[in-house]
Structure 1
Amino acid sequence: MAGALGWTLLAALGYVVGGSLIWFKKEWSHRGLSVLVAISTGLLLSVAVGGMIPHGLSESPTMAFWILIGMLVAFGFQRWQAHRASKPENKKGSHMSAIWSVLTGMGIHAYFEGVAIGAGFHAGPEFGMTVLLAILLHKIPEGAAISTLVMAELKERKKAIASALILGFSTVLGAGTTLWLVKASWMHDQLSPISLLFSAGILLYIAGTELWPLLNQTGNRQSIISFLSSVLAYFLLAWAGTFIAPDHHHSSQDVQAAKNHPSSSADSHQHHHAVQPVVIPNGTVPPAVSLQVKKDSESGWNIHIQTKHFRFAPEHLNEPTRMGEGHAHLYVNGKKAARLYSPWYHLQELAPGTHEIRVELNSNQHAPFVYQGKKIEASATIVTNK
């Protein structure tokens, strides 16, 4: 979380960089601005459509409506800002009234951009960095816009820079809110996909209503090339990421094989490093697991693992630990039999006798989750006859 907030500070500095330009220049290069808008548009659309939406729907396929909610919320705040700006007292009244009206609207806008950055980093570093870069690019001209307005009205450079800092703080606050909520294990199952899909809706609205119209207005070849290049670059980097660190990415075939083969096969992709248990802090609701083992009508046993405040996340295998997600290890008579990526598993026929079946929850880094000194596990005893 601290690392993601540190990167968010970089995005917030975009406002400061833009605001600082009033010390050096009064006007933007039209060509330079159009290129920034084009790149930002391409990256925002790509990360929303190619990253956040698929990732969010993979966690909860029934929550697609949160994309629409994100768009509607962004639309509502934009309309509210436009309504305030159109009031006569803001047009003809005090300078401070007009400034605070614009600053409030842009501050809310910056907060939700921070929400999107936080959701991106929660989904993964590659998503977070892409959202960060895209938002950073158009925060620079936004910072210049607000500081120029304040400078024109109040003739004070310090207050102009302060206005840009307020927007930067709003961005960090939005990212921090999202990261705190999705890291809380008692809210992870609900808010993880919601934050991704809601933020995707915000990004689609920003790109579609604010940036894309500007791109259409310029219509020059350089802007179009910049836009298409940013889209292509995003998907090329996402594709290349599967080859940069192959030890940390498992294909769908690997996952399926791990589901259906015992420990010797499933563990062939591990790093075999000693791992420290993941201690769940007191005061949070820990994951819970229960186990049902039933005789199969043909052969073997069907095992059903039921969890609370935990989800199976094979797509995050070997990635940094996240509270409330991971996989399970299955033990038969104290010996590891399989690594599990789903709640169901078919255990082959066992030798006659009494057998202990045990399952424990593990993190993405293969470390057992521990709460108050105890592993989060469940066990059952079965008896097989000749």
Structure 2
Amino acid sequence: MIMLLWIVGFSILGSIGAVGCSVLLLVFPEGIRKVLVPYLVSYATGTLLGSAFLGMIPAGLERAPSHAFMATVLAGMVAFFVLEKLVIWRHCHDADCDVHGRAAPLILIGDAFHNFVDGVVIAAAFLTSIPLGVATSLAVIAHEVPQEVGDFAILLDSGYSRTKALLLNGLSSTSTLPGALFAYFWLAEMSQAVPYILAISAASFIYIATADLIPGLHRHVTPMASLRQLLLLLAGIASILFFHLGA
């Protein structure tokens, strides 16, 4: 029961935190948002990479054969590439993305699916250990914030009103909790599946960081912007490391 409360609490925090931070950011003028979002993306990139390489992969390798586990990570990355190509799952962070411009409703569907998977990721991490669960939840929240801000901007650009865009974005974020509950009751009965869920989760974090977030950071090429990105990326990694060292 205590483990379930951890999972439910952080799943709700992830949903509320991402949308809440996005709403706060949207209060700022567009010029300020354009400055803040790259900082958030840099930090989120660090938390994703830190969670995958310092948390999920080591934990999974302790519970599954290394070749099978790493093959699952690789297969997961290939699968996410295919899904993104099919526009089922898209994490573009600027309003000029041609996929977003053509099919804004698919963004909401993809976001709801992604948040459901985030719930599964959170539950699998907590079922492995509480520190891993907390660190993973932090990474989920960190990368959700710039994503939600980006998705909101895309919905506005597609003709949605601010109220409707916020409402639909908020609804899509609520799928995190069902995903977590589904994973808790399913994975609790099939503990041998947990390391492979961690492998797929690590693959998703690595894919999002390297395929979607880092290319956007490379658009800012000035020395100071690059230094800020590096420092915030390292700060994200350090945040994840802090939870694991404190375990």
For this structure pair, what is the TM-score category when the shorter chain's length is used for normalisation?
0.7 to 0.9
Q: SS at 2:68's partner residue?
A: coil
2:94 alignment partner in structure 1: none
Matched, 1:150 2:155: yes
- Counterpart position of 1:30: 34
Q: How does 1:208-227 map to 2 (within 5 A)?
A: 208-219=210-221, 220=225, 221-227=227-233
Residue 183 of structure 1 and its aligned partner are, at CA, apart by 0.9
Question: Does 2:166 correspond to 1:161?
Answer: yes
C-alpha deviations, 1:6-36, integer Å up to 9, x for none?
1111111134225534862452533322221
Deviation at residue 57 of structure 1 after TM alignment: 1.6
User: Structure 1 residue 59: deviation in Å?
Assistant: 0.9
Q: Which structure shows the higher helix fraction?
A: 2
Structure 2 counterparts to residues 285-300 of structure 1, below 5 A: none
CA distance in 2: counterparts of 1:22 and 1:44, whole angstroms? 21
For 1:293-312, list aligned pairs within 5 A. none
Match of 2:132 in 1: 127
Match of 2:196 in 1: 194
Aligned CA distance change for structure 1 residues 82 and 182 (closer, same or farther; 3 Å): closer
Corresponding letter in the other structure for 1:159 = K
Q: 1:12 aligns with which of 15, 33, 44?
A: 15
Residues 145, 240 of structure 1: CA spacing in aligned structure 2 closer, same or farther, 3 A cutoff?
closer
Secondary structure at the aligned position of 2:86 is classed as: helix
Counterpart check, 1:118 vs 2:123: yes
| Identical residues among aligned pairs (%) | 25
Query: Which structure: greater strand fraction?
Result: 1
Q: Which amino acid aligns with 2:42?
A: A
1:44 maps to 48
TM-score w.r.t. the length of structure 1 is: 0.54
User: Gaps (5+ residues) in structure 1?
Assistant: 92-97, 242-386
Q: Please identify the structure whose Cα radius of gyration is greater.
A: 1
CA distance in 2, matches of 1:54, 1:23: 38
Residue in 1 that maps onto 2:93: none
| Selected match of 1:72 from 70, 78, 82 | 78
Cα deviation, 1:157-178, whole Å, max 9, x if unaligned, reads 3321221122212222322222
1:103 to 104, 108, 111: 108
- Point out 4+ residue stretches in structure 1 off by more than 6 angstroms: 82-87
1:364-383 deviations in Å (ceiling 9; x for gaps) = xxxxxxxxxxxxxxxxxxxx
Tell me whether 1:141 sits opposite 2:146 in the alignment.
yes
Shift of 1:109: 2.5
Gaps of 5+ in 2: 91-96
Distance 1:72 1:114, change over 3 A: farther
What's the CA shift string for 1:69-124, capped at 9, x where partnerless? 2212322221111799968xx73xxxxxx331221222222222332222222221
**Equivalent position of 1:351 in the other structure:** none
Equivalent AA in structure 1 for residue 138 of structure 2:
L
- Equivalence map 1:247-262=2 (5 Å): none
Instruction: State the alpha-carbon separation in 1 of the partners of residues 134 and 208 from structure 2.
Output: 18
Q: Could you tell me how far apart the structure 2 residues matched to 1:83 and 1:197 are?
A: 18
Structure of higher RCO (CA pairs closer than 8 Å, 6+ residues apart) = 2
Q: How many residues end up aligned between the 2 structures?
A: 230
Verify the 8 A CA contact 2:89 2:110 in the aligned structure 1.
no
Q: CA RMSD in A?
A: 2.7
Structure 2 counterpart of 1:81: 87
